[in-house]
């Protein structure tokens, strides 16, 4: 829990989110929160204060810190996970009604509609906010279907360098997984697909990067112990070093079936690195990965189709064209495309 500020002008804006100060955390929620904060610091003339929701041992102190911060700001941007929404939404709703606070909700993930179905009060909370910025058109439609009427689509974005296309020969075709390491991210399906491809001859390898989900750690240790030598776990990469790491690979695998998937930041990492993406037809992947252009889509949880897609990439003479399309896609998710829209929304109020 932390409050800090960047002094600029008399306009004050509060951001409540998972900053995880002092921690080496590179999950999507933390990266998105930090990115928004840094971009608003650069592009606006506001005084920006923060409340860091990373607090496990002292929720009472977090509550009082939040109350004090909310009382002293009219405009408040929130980026919250499931637990964070349950904690803050009733509080924020009260402040919108009694103190006329303006809440701007930057939605994390892609299953907020399910939270509304499970918690009917969420609908009135969300509709009391000035806006809910959602990452995909699919989520906007799902929320409208459950009665949330104030959604605006702003895709995920990251300030990343966009690499030049590198054409290099590798003895083995280099696939990479770059996400949180959990079963629902398709880790085991990707490993099995590599094993199937390499049955007769070793022609490809798979490197896995990302923080290991605590509940999956024991299972992942077992899986890696029995995985072939062409499969390696490489640890966690600082989010500012994603492009310099990924640019040495040939394609990114994204066989996710995670129910919370929104606009995965790993796809921006891949495109910025000039990597085409092989992704499952899941959640909003089809809004981002254009089949046959910047990547390849296959039916979810279909290992044989995943294997075939990987083989297609390995022997496709159009791979360089797909790399160029991937790089072009990265331009669509630079912060400059959207940050002014956020600033203008708050300035109009």
Q: What are the domain boundaries of the chain?
A: 3-154+335-347, 173-332
- Contact status, residue 156 vs residue 135, Cβ threshold 8 Å: yes
Query: What average pLDDT does range 71-83 have in this prediction?
Result: 97
**Cα maximum dimension of the chain:** 69
CA distances from 277 to 50, 110, 219, 246, 332 (A): 35, 19, 26, 12, 16
94 class by beta-carbon count within 10 Å (0-12 exposed, 13-18 middle, 19+ buried): middle
Task: State the pLDDT confidence band at 214, using cuts at 50, 70 and 90.
Answer: very high
pLDDT tens track for 18-59: 998 877 777 899 999 999 999 999 999 999 999 999 976 688
The architecture CATH gives domain 3-154+335-347? 3-Layer(aba) Sandwich (3.40)
Q: What is the pLDDT of residue 4?
A: 52
Q: What does R_g of the chain's alpha carbons equal in angstroms?
A: 21
Place of tokens 């390491």: 181
Q: Mean pLDDT of all residues in the chain?
A: 94
Q: What is the pLDDT of residue 172?
A: 95
Assigned CATH class of 173-332: alpha beta
Query: Could you tell me where the beta strands, DSSP code E, fall in the chain?
Result: 3-6, 12-17, 47-52, 75-78, 102-106, 131-134, 151-153, 173-178, 204-209, 231-233, 251-254, 277-280, 295-298
> By C-alpha distance, which of 84, 237, 241 is closest to 163?
241
Q: In what order do the strands lie in the sheet with 75-78?
A: 3-6, 47-52, 12-17, 75-78, 102-106, 131-134, 151-153
Does pLDDT of 9 surpass 70?
no
Does pLDDT of 291 surpass 60?
yes
Q: What is the pLDDT of residue 349?
A: 84
Q: How far apart are CA 257 and CA 302, in angstroms?
A: 11
Does pLDDT of 7 surpass 60?
no
SS (H, E, C) 92-145: HHHHHHHCCCEEEEECCCCCHHHHHHHCCHHHHHHHHCCEEEECCHHHHHHHHH
Non-local CB neighbours of 217 within 8 Å, separated by 6+ positions: none
13 class by beta-carbon count within 10 Å (0-12 exposed, 13-18 middle, 19+ buried): buried
Q: What is the pLDDT of residue 55?
A: 75
Q: What is the pLDDT of residue 261?
A: 97
pLDDT tens track for 132-190: 999 999 999 999 999 999 999 999 999 999 988 776 677 899 999 999 999 999 999 99
Does 3-154+335-347 match 173-332 in CATH topology? yes
Helices and strands of the chain, counted as H and E runs: 14, 13
């Amino acid at each position: 829990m932390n409050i800090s500020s960047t002094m600029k002008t008399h306009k004050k804006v509060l951001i409540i989110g998972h900053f995880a100060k002092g921690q080496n955390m590179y999950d999507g929620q933390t990266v998105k929160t930090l990115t928004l904060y840094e971009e608003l610091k650069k592009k606006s003339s506001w005084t920006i204060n923060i409340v860091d929701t990373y607090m496990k041992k002292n929720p009472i102190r977090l509550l009082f810190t939040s109350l004090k911060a909310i009382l002293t700001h009219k405009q408040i941007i929130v980026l919250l996970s499931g637990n964070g929404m349950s904690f803050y939404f009733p509080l924020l709703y009260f402040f919108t009604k009694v103190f006329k606070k303006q809440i701007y909700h930057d939605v994390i993930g892609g299953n907020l509609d399910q939270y509304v179905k499970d918690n009917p009060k969420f609908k009135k909370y969300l509709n009391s906010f000035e806006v809910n910025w959602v990452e995909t058109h699919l989520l906007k439609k799902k929320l409208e279907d459950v009665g949330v009427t104030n959604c605006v689509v702003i895709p995920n974005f990251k300030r990343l360098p966009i690499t030049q296309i590198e054409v290099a020969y590798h003895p083995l075709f280099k696939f990479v997984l770059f996400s949180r390491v959990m079963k629902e991210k398709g880790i085991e399906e990707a490993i099995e697909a590599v094993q199937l491809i390499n049955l007769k001859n070793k022609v490809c390898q798979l490197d896995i990067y990302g923080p290991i989900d605590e509940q999956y750690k024991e299972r992942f240790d077992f899986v890696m112990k029995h995985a072939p030598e062409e499969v390696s776990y490489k640890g966690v990469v600082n989010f500012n070093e994603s492009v310099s790491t990924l640019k040495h690979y040939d394609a990114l695998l994204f066989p996710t079936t995670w129910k919370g998937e929104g606009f995965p930041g790993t796809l921006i990492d891949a495109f910025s690195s000039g990597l085409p993406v092989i992704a499952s037809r899941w959640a909003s992947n089809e809004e981002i990965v254009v089949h046959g252009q910047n990547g390849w889509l296959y039916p979810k949880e279909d290992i044989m189709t995943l294997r075939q897609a990987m083989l297609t990439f390995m022997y496709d003479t159009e791979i360089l064209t797909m790399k160029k399309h991937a790089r072009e896609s990265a331009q669509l998710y630079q912060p400059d495309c959207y940050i002014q829209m956020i600033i203008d929304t708050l300035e109009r109020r």
